[in-house]
A and B are shown apart, each in its own frame.
Chain A
Amino acid sequence: MPDSKDTDDPSSSRPSGEDLPSERYLNLLHERFPHVKAVMDELVKHSPTFRDLVDEYGACADVLDRFASYRSATSLLQEYGSLQLRLERELLQYIQNYPGTDDNS
């Protein structure tokens, strides 16, 4: 089958697991969920899936920042706001399943 790689996909342009997600994205999550900061730092080091989740969360945050002041972007903001909430839920679920997380110990 012919390959249809999209070179504009950040996750496709690096070998899996080599790069950490943007520190800015991780900081966003630290601010959002300070009580699980240490677990997130561990997961970022060890889990490519978690890194993807952080990347996706950060991508949503960027869009929300970029278009926050655009009145015409209401539906886009709603779409990304909703997507970001779903990603938060996934992230928290992932954190919850990590050993040593307080809720899980």
Chain B
Amino acid sequence: MLAKIHHLRSVESERHADSSFEKILRDHLDQLLGSSLFDASARSRDFLSFVVEETLAGRGSTINQTAIAIGVFGRGTDFDPILDPIVRVQAGRLRRSLERFYLLKSGSPVRIELPKGGYTPSFVRDADDCSGLMAVESETDWPSVVVHEFESSPADAEACQNVAEEIGRELHRYGDIHVARRSDVAMVDVHNRPAVRFELHGRLHQVQGGYCTTVRLVDRKTGEQLWSEELLCGENEFSFRNLQDVSRVIAARVGSEHGIIIRTLSSEYRARSPDQAVGYSTLRRCYHYFFSFQVGEFIPTLEALANFVAQQPENALAWTHLARLYLANYSFELSDLHTPIERAIHCGYQALLLDPASPKTRCVLATALLVKGEIAAAQHELSQALKLNGQSLAYRETIGWLTALTGNWDQGMVLMRDAVSRNPFSLAHVNHGFWAHHLMLGNFESAYIAALAYRDPSFFWGELMKACSLGHLGRTSDARASVADLLRAKPQFAYRGSTLIGYYIKSDSLRQLIEEGLRKAGLVLNRQ
């Protein structure tokens, strides 16, 4: 695919030659200052007007903190920017307000920026006005995100193209949202263009020893900027190893099941009868359940999804989520509904037939097989997932976690540690894996820290992990409090605990360690 690189063209050098530009810029400034999307304070607005007017008057080179302090903030000629950092602080706020405005207001003919490190604004003209190309999707449409070509200097165009392509590939691996490249959408006939709810914009520029990538996710339905971040990569002290990892982390933050888009859609979900949940809204309901874990929602969600699968048996993602619901019901004993683990495995295989390349499906299937005790089959699915998406951060941590639980602790820990070191947005269950590993090694303090970091409010595992670790540490009072929380979450735990633990912990010695920790915490599990 040939991607069209989307550049911003600096027009400062053309300013004097183009007399109409000044008018365009002033009109734009008026529009910006009058817009409700520009959330700056009155002082910030004065700040912006001042630096723009000074620059248009040819005095851009003389703008400094003192000039702004006197011209905007009412300071005297004795202004000292060290004692009174008002300009520096307000400049930061103004930069963020401008960034937010341009995220929400697509299609501006010109953009005013206040580059970091100085106070002279730069004026850039957007070379590709893309407003109004696509309708905003309805609630029943499958959610779509358009990945715009990242902005860059021509020297970084290739790096930019690679970033956008990697984000597109990684988003596709998640499978939860539809993804399109902006350049591809533009090729589609205007009447057939897909409805798009979300837009991902980005910029990339070189910094000392690496790159800085800025990304912004915008909800076209509400105009809200859902996420904005700067990610640095390069050698030495930078956060990420390379641009590939940056791309994968962006994709994870945006498009994973725990990412911003699914969270946004889930939070919009309003309970309705299963009959009313059609199309994508059924899956939205499912995501909502996995975020909220409202007990009363489980059966209606399961019924809605089962209906959806009956209507659309070719939908692999729906089968996968149905497998997850059956799996959760079985392994966490969520309801009285009898759903044997084989049902989850069946749905998982159905999904796999439809989409054999889906790492999500293979992970869900592997979990169900693990719970059933089919260790070799679970390991096979995990190795397939790893082969198919070896370097993807999308499921690396999950594959690592499950690999460890199947007994291959060395490989599992390597994968988990690698995933966590490369992706700050890792999921809670990684800490479950770390906790179990520390426990095995007798590192109870580290196990407790991992238990605290396990911030999954669902079910009972978090309290179990804390109670067990505290029991081993001899912190009896805290341990008993955690046991009380555990029993609040799962009143039958004393009777069902051994079975519930055994679904995920296959090692006899580890299970004994867990039960011993709980015993020291004051909870004796009844063997059945």
Q: Which residues of A contact B (CB under 8 A)?
A: 1-6, 8-12, 15-18, 38, 42, 45-49, 52-53, 55-56, 59-60, 62-63, 66, 76, 79-80, 83, 86-87, 90, 97, 99-100, 102, 104-105
Contact = CB atoms under 8 A, between A and B. Distances in A.
Interface string B49-64: 0000001000011111
Interface string B276-306: 0000000000000000000000000000000
B253 interface: yes
Contact of B88 (A9, A46, A86): A9
Interface in B85-125: 85-86, 88-93, 96, 116-120, 122
Given A11-B88, A12-B116, A86 B41 contact: yes
Given A4-B63, A4-B120, A16-B207, A59 B89 contact: yes
23 contacts: A1-B122, A2-B120, A3-B118, A4-B118, A5-B117, A6-B119, A8-B81, A8-B82, A9-B88, A9-B118, A12-B116, A12-B118, A18-B237, A46-B424, A49-B229, A62-B85, A63-B85, A83-B90, A87-B93, A99-B253, A99-B259, A105-B455, A105-B456
Contacts, number: 122
A48 B212 CA distance: 10
Nearest to B68: A6
B207 A47 contact: no
Contacts of A60: 89
Contacts of B259: 99
A79 B86 contact: yes
A11 B120 contact: no
A44 B331 CA distance: 38
A105 to B, nearest CB: 6
A2 B61 contact: yes
Given A45-B239, A79-B86, A16 B231 contact: no
Interface residues of B, number: 54
A17 B210 CA distance: 11
B65 interface: yes
A83 B61 contact: no
B238 interface: yes
Contacts of B424: 42, 45-46
Nearest to A11: B116
A18 to B, nearest CB: 6
A6 B116 contact: no
B490 interface: no
Contact of A100 (B64, B231, B428): B428
A16 B237 CA distance: 11
Contacts of B207: 15-17
Contact of B83 (A12, A66, A83): A66
B153 interface: no
A44 B228 CA distance: 15
A16 B230 contact: yes
Contact of A4 (B61, B85, B88, B456): B61
Nearest to B456: A105
B65 A49 contact: no
B84 A76 contact: yes
Contacts of A105: 428, 455-457
Nearest to B253: A99
Contacts of A79: 86
Contacts of B230: 16-17, 47-49
A4 B89 contact: no
A94 B527 CA distance: 47
A48 B453 CA distance: 24
A3 B63 CA distance: 9
A86 B94 CA distance: 12
Residue with the greatest number of chain A CB neighbours at <10 A, chosen from B117, B228, B425, B456? B117
B231 A83 contact: no
A38 B180 CA distance: 35
B218 to A, nearest CB: 14
B227 interface: yes
**Which of B86, B89, B118, B228 has the most chain A CB atoms closer than 10 A to its own CB?**
B89
A42 B62 CA distance: 38
A17 B208 CA distance: 10
Nearest to B457: A105
A55 B86 CA distance: 12
Identify which of A12, A17, A47, A86 gathers the most chain B CB atoms within 10 Å of its CB. A17
Given A47-B229, A49-B230, A4 B64 contact: yes
B116 A16 contact: yes
A47 B65 CA distance: 26
Given A4-B60, A48-B230, A56 B65 contact: no
Contacts of A1: 12-13, 55, 60-61, 120, 122
Given A6-B119, A52-B92, A63-B85, 16 more contacts: A2-B120, A3-B118, A4-B61, A8-B82, A9-B88, A12-B116, A16-B207, A42-B424, A46-B231, A48-B230, A56-B92, A59-B88, A83-B90, A99-B258, A102-B455, A105-B428
B346 to A, nearest CB: 31
Across chains A and B, which 3 residue pairs bring their CB atoms closest together, nearest first? Answer: A12-B117, A2-B61, A1-B12
A86 B103 CA distance: 21
Contacts of A104: 263
A80 B226 CA distance: 28
A2 B65 contact: no
Interface in B209-247: 212, 226-232, 237-239
Contacts of A87: 89, 93
Contacts of A102: 455, 457
